Amino acid sequence: MDSLMTLISVLVPMFAGFFIRVPKPYLSVLDRILSVLVYAVLLLIGVSLARVENLGTQLDDIALTTLWLFFCTVGANLIVLAVLGKLFPWRPNGKGKGVSVGVSGSVRQLGCVVFGFVFGKLMRDIWMPSESAGMYCLMLLVFLIGVQLKSSGVSLRQVLVNRRGIRLSVWFMLSSLSGGLLFAVSTDGVSWAKGLAMASGFGWYSLSGLVMTEAYGAVWGSIALLNDLARELFALAFIPLLMKRFPDAAVGVGGATSMDFTLPVIQGAGGLEVVPVAVSFGVVVNVAAPFLMVVFSALG
Query: What are the pLDDT digits (tens) for 45-66?
Result: 788 778 766 666 678 888 999 9
DSSP designation for 129: -
User: Which residue, 69, 5, 63, 81, is CA-closest to 200?
Assistant: 69
Highest mean pLDDT (candidates 49-53, 70-74, 270-274): 70-74
172-213: pLDDT as tens digits: 999 999 999 999 999 998 999 999 999 999 988 878 888 898
Label residues 147-158 b or e (16+ Cβ within 10 Å = b).
bbbbbeebeeee
Q: Find the mean pLDDT for residues 128-134.
A: 79
Distance, in Å, from the CA atom of 15 to the CA atom of 12, rounded to the nearest integer, reads 5
Question: Model pTM greater than 0.85?
Answer: no
Label residues 65-83 b or e (16+ Cβ within 10 Å = b).
bbebbbebbbebbbebbee
4-39: pLDDT as tens digits: 565 566 667 877 887 888 888 888 888 888 878 878
Neighbours of 33 (CB within 10 A): 15
